[in-house]
């Protein structure tokens, strides 16, 4: 095997063309890390909402602010993308989508359906 | 890919926990859709019901396992100096453990109300 250091390395993020499967994959990671960071926030608000009626109303008010809504919509996207991409990985593990075309099409389906469902939910909640 | 061979148990747990998280999210979505708790009392009843509270605790337990394996893989991919990696992993692990204990406290306190 050649010396590892002699292999060409090309990591210019602005020039690498990411295939759609790579985009679905990196979004799977980003959404996972976002939800990881959200764990303490969710425990905090769950605890607060259960303390008393007054705390419950306060929690609703805080989550209903523009920032609260924006974070909830971001988390809804993260959950849906992570969930859809996770189901796709299950199907890949079961060797159901292993053709290149199948992998590309399913990656497009995952990315777009997460965005579409979040948009529909956000519209439904805000109207 | 030798880490994958070593990590076969992690790989399996990642999928077992993922299945529970998936089923729980579907269950909560359907349950809330048919019975939306719009005041404190119904919200309290919903969370502290026997089935729901056990399912919720199991959800956070599975979430802790799932997040630990996932974040550990991400950290091992991007953080290479051993001392920094060990410190970050320790913080992540302690943070997740803290959240699980915090959640248990929240549920116990809710029960005692």
Domain with residue B104: its CATH number is 1.20.1300.10
The proportion of chain B whose per-residue pLDDT surpasses 70, expressed as a percent, equals 95
pLDDT for B2 equals: 52
Establish if B26 touches chain A: CB-CB under 8 angstroms. no
Establish if B95 touches chain A: CB-CB under 8 angstroms. yes
Residue A3 is assigned to a structural domain of this protein: no
Residue A82 is assigned to a structural domain of this protein: yes
Provide the domain limits for residue A101.
Answer: 19-126
What is the DSSP secondary structure assignment for residue B7, as one 8-state letter? T
**CA-CA distance, B68 to B10, in Å (whole number)?**
10
**CA-CA distance, A85 to A73, in Å (whole number)?**
18
**CA-CA distance, B64 to B77, in Å (whole number)?**
20
User: Between B9 and B96, where is the model more confident?
Assistant: B96
Q: What is the mean pLDDT of residues A53-78?
A: 95
Residue A63 is assigned to a structural domain of this protein: yes
- pLDDT tens digit sequence for A27-48: 999 999 999 999 999 999 999 9
Q: Under a CB-based contact definition with an 8 Å cutoff, are residues A85 and A24 in contact?
A: yes
| Contacting residues of A for B20, CB less than 8 Å apart | none
Q: Under a CB-based contact definition with an 8 Å cutoff, are residues A29 and B71 in contact?
A: no
- pLDDT tens digit sequence for B12-37: 999 999 999 999 999 999 998 888 88
CATH number at residue A84: 1.20.1300.10
| Contacting residues of A for B110, CB less than 8 Å apart | 50
Residue A61 is assigned to a structural domain of this protein: yes
Residue A11 is assigned to a structural domain of this protein: no
H or E element: which one contains B36? none
pLDDT for A126 equals: 65
The proportion of chain A whose per-residue pLDDT surpasses 70, expressed as a percent, equals 93
User: Using alpha carbons only, what angle is made at residue B103 by residues B102 and B105, rounded to the nearest 5 degrees?
Assistant: 65
Between chain A and chain B, the number of residue pairs with CB atoms below 8 A apart is: 57
CB atoms B15 and A39 under 8 Å: no
H or E element: which one contains A14? none
For residue A66, which phi and psi values (nearest 5 degrees)?
-55, -40
Q: Which of B40, B47, B72 to mutate to test the interface with A (most CBs of A within 10 A)?
A: B40
3-state class (DSSP) for residue A96: coil
Residue A81 is assigned to a structural domain of this protein: yes
Q: What is the mean pLDDT of residues A63-69?
A: 94
Residue A12 is assigned to a structural domain of this protein: no
pLDDT for A101 equals: 84
Classify residue A104 as exposed, middle or buried by CB count within 10 Å of its CB (0-12, 13-18, 19+).
middle
pLDDT for A97 equals: 72
Q: What is the mean pLDDT of chain A?
A: 89
Provide the domain limits for residue B39.
Answer: 2-112
**pLDDT confidence bin for B1, thresholds 50/70/90:** very low
Q: Give the ipTM of the model, two decimals please.
A: 0.90
- pLDDT tens digit sequence for B79-100: 989 999 999 999 999 999 999 9
From chain A residues 8-67, the ones with a CB under 8 A of any chain B CB are 29, 32-33, 35-36, 39-40, 43, 46-47, 49-50, 52-53, 56-57
pLDDT for A81 equals: 96
Residue A5 is assigned to a structural domain of this protein: no
**CA-CA distance, A106 to A3, in Å (whole number)?**
37
Number of domains in chain A: 1
Number of domains in chain B: 1
**CA-CA distance, A112 to A52, in Å (whole number)?**
40
**pLDDT confidence bin for A121, thresholds 50/70/90:** confident
């Amino acid at each position: 095997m050649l010396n590892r250091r002699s292999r060409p390395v090309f990591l210019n993020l602005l020039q690498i063309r990411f295939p759609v499967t790579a985009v679905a994959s990196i979004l799977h990671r980003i959404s996972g890390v976002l939800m990881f960071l959200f764990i303490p926030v969710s425990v905090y608000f769950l605890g607060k909402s259960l303390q008393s009626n007054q705390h419950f109303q306060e929690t609703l008010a805080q989550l209903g602010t523009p920032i609260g809504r924006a974070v909830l919509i971001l988390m809804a996207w993260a959950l849906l993308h992570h969930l859809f991409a996770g189901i796709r990985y299950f199907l890949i593990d079961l060797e159901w989508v292993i053709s290149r075309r199948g992998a590309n099409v399913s990656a497009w389906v995952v990315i777009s359906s997460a965005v579409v469902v979040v948009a529909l939910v956000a519209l439904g909640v805000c109207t | 890919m030798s880490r994958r061979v070593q990590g076969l148990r992690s790989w399996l747990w990642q999928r077992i926990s993922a299945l529970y998280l998936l089923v729980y999210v579907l269950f909560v979505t359907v349950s809330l859709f048919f019975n939306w708790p719009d005041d404190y009392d119904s919200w309290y009843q919903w969370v502290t019901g026997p089935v729901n509270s056990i399912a919720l605790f199991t959800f956070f337990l599975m979430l802790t396992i799932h997040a630990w394996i996932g974040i550990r893989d991400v950290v091992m991919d991007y953080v290479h100096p051993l001392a920094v990696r060990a410190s970050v992993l320790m913080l992540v692990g302690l943070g997740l453990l803290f959240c699980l204990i915090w959640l248990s406290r929240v549920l116990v306190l809710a029960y005692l109300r």
